[in-house]
């Protein structure tokens, strides 16, 4: 069972902590439990209820009406709002609730509905990545277990791989070769998979090496496949504690290739100005090279 502070509820629901306290006093929407030192804490049921309240409130329903609804009534009304795929916050809320209950079919339903309505690329950038930021916050605060995080990450990973595989082979006459990899000890590959999708969608060839690629394996693959571009990144400096040194080695070893770097490496690339290394902070940055 999750255990959340008031600040964590604010981050996860989009409702300000001050507003939550006011609603508690005025409408009794939640009944927090107390620690031995009299600090509020909330459980999974409280979080789900507040997320459903947030969904209805941001859709225009008055809190005075919402407060009188049971949990089952809240869920039914929130599900109806989920069909409005233009409301990204609603879709993100739905993913959080589905993740916390390990509901695979609900996760897939949200993603499928969104892809049909706004397209795959916008679903990833507008819904999935903001959702993952919330998951990251939950992880940092210890509010989700490794099993919960792995559950949703693997679902998203499988969806990205399936979408990449559905793209026809590259056939544009001016296509380039892009080799994608993550540095050793870096395991967070959803962003890299999304870049692989964008690159292949643009009609280029990709060689995907994936997570935690040893440098000698990277050099071997580069020599055999002869890519035009290398694409990499790191979520944080935990995987690459000496980013200047790593990028210097990367740029020097592969001096005849263009190297695109994202995540925590992009800031280092900008500040150091390596001649053949280009920072990628957004999808638009990547597309300038496609």
Closest among 158, 5, 89, 109 to 150, alpha carbons compared:
158
Distance separating alpha carbons of residues 179 and 195, to the nearest angstrom? 11
CATH number at residue 57: 1.10.1660.10
Residues 159 and 87 occupy one common structural domain? yes
Higher pLDDT, 229 or 15: 229
Q: Give the model's pLDDT for residue 58.
A: 81
The verdict on 250 and 174 lying in the same domain is yes
Verify that 175 and 153 share a domain, yes or no.
Answer: no
Domain final residue, candidates 166, 186, 205: 166
User: Do 274 and 192 belong to one domain?
Assistant: yes
The end-to-end CA distance of the chain, in Å, is: 46
Q: Do 179 and 207 form a contact (C-beta atoms < 8 A)?
A: yes
pLDDT band per the 50, 70, 90 thresholds, residue 121: very high
pLDDT at 259: 96
Task: Residue 149: give its domain's CATH number.
Answer: 1.10.1240.10
Please give the residue range of the domain that contains residue 138: 83-166
- Among the three residues 77, 110, 135, which one is the final residue of a domain in this structure? 77
Final residue of a structural domain among 52, 77, 102: 77
234 pLDDT tier (thresholds 50, 70, 90): very high
Judged by DSSP in three states, 31 sits in coil
Strand ranges in the chain using DSSP code E only, listed in sequence order: 33-34, 40-41, 177-181, 205-210, 229-234, 258-263, 277-280
Beginning with the edge strand found earlier in the chain, give each strand of the sheet holding 177-181 in spatial order.
205-210, 177-181, 229-234, 258-263, 277-280
Residues 194, 99 share a domain: no
175 in the same domain as 277: yes
Helix (H) or strand (E) holding 48: helix 44-58
Q: Per-residue pLDDT tens for 136-164?
A: 777 766 666 778 888 999 999 999 999 99
Total domains, the chain: 3
- The pTM (predicted TM-score) of the whole model is 0.82
One domain, residues 50 and 90: no
Residue 205, domain CATH? 3.40.50.280
Q: Which residues contact 74 (CB under 8 A, 6 or more apart)?
A: 49, 52, 53, 56, 66
């Amino acid at each position: 069972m999750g255990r959340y502070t008031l600040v964590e509820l604010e981050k996860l629901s989009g409702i300000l902590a001050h507003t939550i306290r006011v609603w508690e006093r005025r409408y009794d929407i939640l009944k927090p439990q107390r620690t031995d030192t009299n600090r509020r804490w909330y459980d999974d049921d409280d979080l789900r209820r507040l997320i459903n309240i947030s969904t209805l409130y941001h859709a225009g329903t008055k809190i005075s009406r919402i407060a009188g609804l049971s949990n089952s009534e809240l869920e039914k009304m929130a599900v109806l709002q989920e069909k409005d795929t233009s409301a990204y916050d609603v879709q993100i809320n739905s993913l959080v609730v589905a993740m916390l209950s390990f509901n695979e079919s609900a996760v897939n339903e949200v993603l499928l509905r969104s892809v049909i309505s706004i397209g795959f690329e916008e679903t990833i950038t507008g819904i999935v990545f903001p959702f993952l930021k919330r998951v990251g916050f939950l992880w940092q605060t210890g509010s989700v277990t490794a099993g919960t995080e792995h559950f949703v990450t693997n679902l998203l990973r499988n969806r990205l791989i399936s979408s990449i595989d559905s793209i026809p082979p590259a056939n544009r006459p001016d296509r380039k070769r892009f080799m994608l990899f993550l540095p050793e000890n870096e395991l967070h590959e959803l962003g890299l998979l999304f870049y692989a999708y964008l690159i292949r969608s643009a009609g280029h060839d990709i060689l995907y090496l994936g997570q935690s690629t040893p440098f000698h394996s990277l050099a071997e693959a580069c020599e055999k496949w002869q890519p035009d571009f290398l694409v990499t990144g790191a979520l944080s400096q935990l995987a690459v504690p000496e980013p200047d040194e790593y990028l210097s080695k990367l740029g020097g070893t592969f001096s005849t290739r263009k190297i695109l770097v994202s995540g925590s490496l992009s800031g280092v690339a900008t500040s150091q100005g390596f001649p053949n290394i280009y920072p990628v902070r957004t999808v638009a940055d990547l597309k300038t090279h496609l």
